[in-house]
Chains A and B, each alone.
Chain A
Amino acid sequence: MNKYEVVIGLEIHAELRTRTKIFCGCSTEFGGEPNSHCCPVCLGLPGVLPVLNQKAVEFAIMAGLALNCEIAEYSKFDRKNYFYPDLTKAYQVSQFDLPICGRGQVGFDLDGTKYVAGITRVHLEEEAGKSVHSGDNILGSDYSSLDYNRAGIPLIEIVTEPDLRSPAEAKAFLEQLKLTLQYIAVSDCKMQEGSLRCDANVSLRPLHQEELGTKVEIKNLNSFRALERALEYEVARQTEYLDQSKVIVQETRAWDDVRGVTVSMRSKEESHDYRYFPEPDLVPLQVDPNWVGSLASGLPELPLAKKERLQKQFGLSDYEAGFLVSSLEDSQFFEKTVAIYPNPKVVCNWVMGEYTRLRNTTEEEEQLGHLTPEMLAELLSMVEKGAVSGTLAKDVLTEMYLHGKTASAIVEAKGLSQISDLSTLTELVERVLQEHPALVDRFRSGEEKLLGFFVGQIMKETRGKANPGLVNTLLQEKLH
């Protein structure tokens, strides 16, 4: 029985996928030659001024709406001042006391149980550039290089209430948040590319104590797995401290993924004074409630709502619906296919099975485009009609996926049509049985398992094209 309650809050940064940066017209495209997506404004040259990107505001509002937040009619920008080579103006334009979005909440599922976590706020800010150190680590590097392509990309910072009660909950919450932002297409949320970042705050308190324990901030979490592992480690570390009545220091710790530990980075005494003050180069942000209203009504269906609908509308299980919903592409693919070939269970099996396997094993995401819902629907109805066997259909699907040919074209070209002609099959069955009289006798004496051998022989002869159902029936007839 746990003696302590775990209290976790998350601070998430998501890059908004606007075409241009938050205060200038430079491209936000990932990659590219270092310092090729830069201009005087995002480089912070003497004399430049920011101009706010409306799309960034739109995306921030959409994110707030999807997280059930209040949208502030009046908000403003502030300067967060600190020195670092990747920060071109030595201040980051952010929102301090009047953010664009206020309180909200996010529902998520974990192991069949429904949870709700509160959102404290969502605000807009700008990205810094990227440092590349000459060595493995900043310490011991002879020099560092700065790439400012990323400087000025719009970010939203999402702060949660300390409502999460376990590392698993935190991970599930973050997955739901990521999915939600992807569904409304405001962010790619790719942790590996840095378009989604997460810091965690964790503290422990004795059960039934209202007062929160000492909070420790954890940084350098580069994957969902890292988040979970780091939190588990930290909970264990703090538990041990409390058990031994040792004082937990309020500090920031970095997760070391290689060693599997958190390491102290800086303590409260060294924390920055950012000297926040209102950004004088930008006017306060006033949003028209009608605009917000139209954005709200324009929001696509969100993951949780879709999950429930898929279960109700198509009779899918909680697990099946959850699986499909976890990828926007998959759920859309599923529904489009079912619209043409209305057998949801079959479609679901194929999407969850073969289609997912293909997507996971091929490298290029572009290959997704080769398989359309129409193509899959055609294949499935061919299987249903017996034009191709279920087993061969898997190979056909692979071919369709990789080269974009339709099922009928592939089946015809490779002569894979299922043989369902009774006279052909009857002849085949009789021939096979004639070739193995000893085994036939053994079967008739009770070795029913030998049926599989005869089926296999016929499949071998026909290179898998014989209709297995008919073959079975014919064999049963002939053997008895």
Chain B
Amino acid sequence: MMELNRCSATKLAALLERGEVSSKDIACSLIQRIADVEPQVRAFITFNKESLLAQAEESDCRRREGRTLSPWDGIPIALKDNISTRGLKTTCGSKMLANYTPPYDATVVERIKQAGLLVMGKTNMDEFAMGSSTENSAFFLTGNPHDYSKVPGGSSGGSAAAVGAREVPWSLGSDTGGSIRQPASFCGVVGLKPTYGLVSRYGLVAFASSLDQIGPIAGNVQDTAALLQIIAGHDQKDSTSVPQNTPQFTTSVRGERDKLIVGIPQEYFGAGLNLEVKEAVLSAVRRLEQQGAIIKEVTLPSTDYAIETYYLIATSEASSNLARYDGVRYGLRVEGSDALSMFKKTRSQGFGPEVKRRIILGTYALSAGYYDAYYKKAQQVRTLIRNEMQSALAEVDVLITPTTPTTAFGFGEKKDPMEMYLSDIYTVNINLAGVPGISVPCGTDSKGLPIGLQIVGNHFGEQTILDVAYTLECLAQGGKVDE
């Protein structure tokens, strides 16, 4: 029996359709895999074997009765634990919501359920999506599947690790400053952050409202495109979701790529970039060139301000988004002598140090006398960053950069918060500009750790970046697409 857990979602869909496997077979394979590796990976906060098997049975029944909901009916998926799932704990990796069970599904969850996918678990993450290593989870550490002593990246560490460890073919993560792309890069899988507004945020526990997006993580580009297809599109419940028709991504994933113009921003290849990572990315770019692509050097000077701009805007919005956790209506409550005392105790005990750090920073940036100098100024710089990105993307089809300056680092290695923040240097501008970005595996370093390559497109350029990603994937595997 082939190892079903090693198959892509696309392959599984074909097998299901041909009747060669059942959803239950797939579920059993994943259950076995999880039993084998999960003690070291620890990707899941919530995983219920019985529930998965029951859902698989239901899917098989639908298939027998000719009532399949979509070609993906019966394929399990894991969800980052900041995505609301009705009746299933949604903790955001925090003590504050350790026992919070939402009474509603996020829109993306409704859509995946409508397609018949099986929600098989909720994955570990940095608390409230704040972090780049999943070390900020209040519960436990997640290990990188390629080296358990290394971090999987963050904040969607669990979602990326689960896919990287072949515990599940695909998952959903969220990306505010790189939280899908960076862990995808560290775990050797594909991760895509859509254009801001393409995927509904209704049900995504907010970190930074103007930056957050939910996106797909999968073992290959085809699956990534298919999953994006399922979740993308206008949602009435999200006023910031775009009233635009979603192009049919899956059908557009194709190989030819001549006359592609690729931009290489010089600021992304300078000091601080690990040499092995640099070489792997540039070598992939050269392969594209050999296929007929034109490579242009571009400059994005405001990259210098990326981290500061991001951390001012994101923390300001976060300080407001996280204010609702006061112990009154749900989540952790620590009793006090009066309401104010209860607020203070609840929030002191419910939030971890990184969350507190960011709330304080954001509160400060918005406070009277400082708003103009910090928050407002950051938003103005953001406009410059966005304009610059758009101008560059007007001259080229895509930008290609490394996803991260290094490969996965070890637990406890980045003690200084600023050092941790700086590892987002190549990803945050993409969120600030609202453009789409995808990270694809691009080799490994001398320690066997995966290297990620980022492809950035203009607004609503998902089709283009998926095309280029697919091409690179084919080139890297010597023409093979999937197993």
Contact = CB atoms under 8 A, between A and B. Distances in A.
Interface centre among B205, B339, B343 (most CB of A within 10 A): B339
A273 B368 contact: yes
B146 to A, nearest CB: 32
A48 B202 contact: yes
Interface string B362-384: 01001110010001000000000
A49 B316 contact: no
A281 B323 contact: no
Nearest to A272: B368
B324 A88 contact: yes
A122 B340 CA distance: 32
Contacts of B97: 46
B90 A50 contact: no
Residue of B104, B106, B316 with most chain A CB atoms under a 10 A cut-off? B104
B320 A49 contact: no
Interface in B45-68: none
Interface in B91-112: 92, 97, 100, 102-104, 106
A11 to B, nearest CB: 20
Interface residues of B, number: 43
B210 interface: yes
B259 interface: no
Contacts of A49: 201-202, 237-240
Interface in A21-46: 40, 43-46
A35 to B, nearest CB: 10
B317 interface: yes
B305 interface: no
Interface string A434-449: 0000000000000000
Contact of B326 (A40, A47, A51, A85): A85
A277 B328 contact: no
A135 B328 CA distance: 19
Which of B239, B326, B330 gathers the greatest number of chain A CB atoms within 10 Å? Answer: B239
Contacts of B236: 51
B285 interface: no
A273 B320 CA distance: 13
A83 B343 contact: yes
B299 interface: no
Given A88-B329, A273-B368, A277-B320, A45 B102 contact: yes
Given A47-B203, A51-B239, A40 B104 contact: yes
B414 to A, nearest CB: 28
Given A280-B210, A281-B209, A45 B330 contact: yes
Nearest to B238: A49
B281 interface: no
Interface in B333-365: 339-340, 343, 363
Interface string A63-91: 00000000000000001010111001111
Contacts of A144: 339
A52 interface: yes
Contacts of B339: 84-85, 144
A358 B393 CA distance: 76
Contacts of A91: 320, 323
A436 B371 CA distance: 97
A283 interface: yes
Contacts of A146: 328-329
B204 interface: yes
B275 to A, nearest CB: 39
A50 B209 CA distance: 12
Contacts of A114: none
Nearest to A35: B329
B336 to A, nearest CB: 12
Interface string B72-102: 0000000000111000001010000100101
A1 to B, nearest CB: 43
Contacts of B340: 83
Interface in B307-335: 316-317, 319-320, 323-324, 326, 328-330
Contact of B323 (A85, A90, A282, A283): A90
A275 interface: yes
B206 interface: yes
A231 B450 CA distance: 73
Which bucket holds chain A's interface residue count?
20 to 34
B216 to A, nearest CB: 19
Nearest to B212: A280
A275 B371 contact: yes
Nearest to A90: B323
Nearest to B369: A273
Nearest to A80: B320
A273 B319 CA distance: 14
B201 A83 contact: no
A52 B240 CA distance: 12
A275 B367 contact: yes
A277 B366 contact: yes
Nearest to A43: B329
A442 to B, nearest CB: 83
Contacts of B324: 44, 46, 88-90
A75 B326 CA distance: 31
B343 A275 contact: no
Contacts of A52: 239
A86 B317 CA distance: 21
B210 A47 contact: no
B329 A280 contact: no
B84 A46 contact: yes
Contacts of A48: 202-203
B308 to A, nearest CB: 17
A150 to B, nearest CB: 15
A47 B343 contact: no
B371 A277 contact: yes
B209 A280 contact: yes
Contacts of A275: 319-320, 363, 366-368, 371
Interface string A257-299: 0000000000000000101110011110000000000000000
A81 B323 contact: yes
A91 B362 CA distance: 15
B204 A50 contact: no
Nearest to A46: B205
A157 to B, nearest CB: 20
A79 B366 CA distance: 11
Contacts of B205: 46-47
19 contacts: A40-B102, A40-B103, A44-B329, A46-B102, A47-B84, A47-B203, A49-B239, A50-B239, A85-B339, A90-B324, A90-B326, A144-B339, A275-B319, A275-B320, A277-B317, A277-B320, A277-B371, A280-B209, A281-B239
Interface of A: 40, 43-52, 79, 81, 83-85, 88-91, 144, 146, 273, 275-277, 280-283
Interface of B: 82-84, 90, 92, 97, 100, 102-104, 106, 201-206, 209-210, 236-240, 316-317, 319-320, 323-324, 326, 328-330, 339-340, 343, 363, 366-368, 371, 375
Given A276-B371, A281-B206, 20 more contacts: A40-B102, A44-B324, A45-B103, A46-B90, A47-B82, A47-B203, A48-B202, A49-B239, A51-B236, A85-B326, A88-B324, A89-B324, A146-B329, A273-B367, A273-B368, A275-B371, A277-B316, A281-B209, A282-B239, A283-B239
Q: Which 7 A-B pairs have the closest CB atoms?
A: A90-B323, A280-B209, A275-B366, A280-B210, A46-B205, A273-B368, A47-B203
